[in-house]
Amino acid sequence: MNLIYLIVNNKYRHRFGSALLFLVCLTVMSRAEVPFHRGVNLTQWFQSPTPYNIPFHKYDRETFAQIQSLGCDAIRLPVNLFSMTSGSPDYQINPLFLLMLDEVVGWAEELHIYLILDNHSTDEWGSRNPLLKEALLSVWQQLAERYKNRSQYLLYEVLNEPNGITTESWSSVQHEVVHRIREIDPARLLIVGASGYNSFRELTQLPVYDDPHLIYTFHFYEPFLFTHQGASWVNPPMTLLKNIPFPYSATLPPLQDAYKNTWIETSYNSYYKDGTADHICKLIRETARWAKEHHVALYCGEFGALMNNCDNNDRVLWYNVVRKCLEDNGIAWTTWDYQHGFGLFESNSPERFVSDLNLDLIDTLGLDAPDQRIEIEGNR
């Protein structure tokens, strides 16, 4: 039963004392709220195989300030966290990595922009690691000790896109990690999610933890046939797919023979119903409804469409639909990503903030781009 309804309905007042009703109300209202609204993932930076491979000067404080000037109040920082350690059995975090991370945390605090430290460890190191629980407990205990006195602008995300593990098993591991952090840092906002690559479908199967400082996350790349056309890392590779329109239209190009009798053919055959704005918003509304029913904060940590083989107008329209559906349902978001294939810049450009932003995409995301200047080729 909805607890707010229980409180306000006079039918129940004679059963519960006013003090108990007040406590119930506090319990409901003390659930975490997402303190930010929109942001980006800053990728291919701390996702390195070792601390010594981090291209630290790729981004700096000015980058954070530029992102903030777009109207973003959050940056999600994917980190190949387990690779920043000595490995099994102790998973001691490398001091060089910590020094670099200290500086990044400092930039966020100075600018008052929220920084989500996302444990983006690769599958073999991460969710498919037989020592997953031991690794998670070790790295988060160390980080919690190091940053327990830092500001509220720092948030922790336990593990990105757990997979190869059931949501039931994962929820037990995640609960232990949350408990370990709470022994050190009782009130920091933590981001938790379900298995199935942070699937919104699996999220509804995740138990609601007894912790008032949690934000529940999901990722959204629907319909996958559209958002990942041109992707080389899926199986089978989608590099032959191009010009899949959004929304669906009768001009859908024919499917290549290489994709016959695969999941891609199944997705292709259902695209007439999956590739619509109504279907996208229905999925997002269902996820938001679950969060409201369970009185938990909800956040979309990733959404995006690869630009490789995609018409830019269709891509911009897809972002418009997803962003508006998220915001209409009160869901904060960080788009995947800032630069690169899913980024905010023009395709095949040098990705300069002053000259190469995809202005149509920036506008449809409700962001504010600076005036773009024309760069002379010799001055780039």
Q: What would the mean pLDDT of 55-76 be, rounded to a whole number?
A: 98
Q: What would the mean pLDDT of 224-228 be, rounded to a whole number?
A: 98
Please name the residue that has the structure tokens 């001691």: 92
Each residue of 91-117: pLDDT tens digit? 999 999 999 999 999 999 999 999 999
**pLDDT of amino acid 375:** 64
Cis bond before residue 89 (omega within 30° of 0): yes
Q: What would the mean pLDDT of 257-276 be, rounded to a whole number?
A: 97
**pLDDT of amino acid 104:** 98
- Higher-confidence residue of 18 and 38: namely 38
Confidence of residue 251 (pLDDT cuts 50, 70, 90): confident
Q: How far apart are CA 179 and CA 183, in angstroms?
A: 6
Q: What would the mean pLDDT of 1-19 be, rounded to a whole number?
A: 37
Q: What is the mean pLDDT of the chain?
A: 91
**pLDDT of amino acid 21:** 36
Q: What would the mean pLDDT of 318-323 be, rounded to a whole number?
A: 98
Q: What would the mean pLDDT of 335-345 be, rounded to a whole number?
A: 97
Which residues are CB-neighbours of 54 under 8 A, at least 6 positions away? 45, 46, 48, 97, 100
- Selection from 308, 228, 307, 233 nearest residue 264 by Cα: 228
Q: How far apart are CA 371 and CA 354, in angstroms?
A: 7
SS (H, E, C) the chain: CCHHHHHHCHHHCCCCCHHHHHHHHHHHHCCCCCCCCEEEECCCCECCCCHHHCCHHHCCHHHHHHHHHCCCCEEEEEECHHHHECCCCCCCECHHHHHHHHHHHHHHHHHCCEEEEEECCCCCCCCCCCCHHHHHHHHHHHHHHHHCCCCCCEEEECCCCCCCCCHHHHHHHHHHHHHHHHHHCCCCCEEEECHHHHEHHHHCCCCCCCCCCEEEEEEECCCHHHHCCCCCCCCCCCCCCCCCCCCCCCCCCCCCHHHCCCHHHHHHHCHHHHCCHHHHHHHHHHHHHHHHHCCCEEEEEEECCCCCCCCHHHHHHHHHHHHHHHHHCCCEEEECCCCCCCCCECCCCCCCCCCCECHHHHHHCCCCCCCCCCCCHHHC
Each residue of 168-177: pLDDT tens digit? 999 999 999 9
Which residues are CB-neighbours of 322 under 8 A, at least 6 positions away? 220, 280, 284, 303
Q: How far apart are CA 73 and CA 40, in angstroms?
A: 9
The one-letter amino acid at 287: T
Please list, residue by residue across 189-208, b when 16 or more beta carbons sit within 10 angstroms of its beta carbon and e when fewer do.
Answer: bbbbbbbbbbbbebbbebeb
% pLDDT > 70, the chain: 90
Q: What would the mean pLDDT of 272-298 be, rounded to a whole number?
A: 97
Q: What would the mean pLDDT of 286-310 be, rounded to a whole number?
A: 97
Each residue of 144-164: pLDDT tens digit? 999 999 999 999 999 999 998
Confidence of residue 334 (pLDDT cuts 50, 70, 90): very high
**pLDDT of amino acid 1:** 31
**pLDDT of amino acid 27:** 41
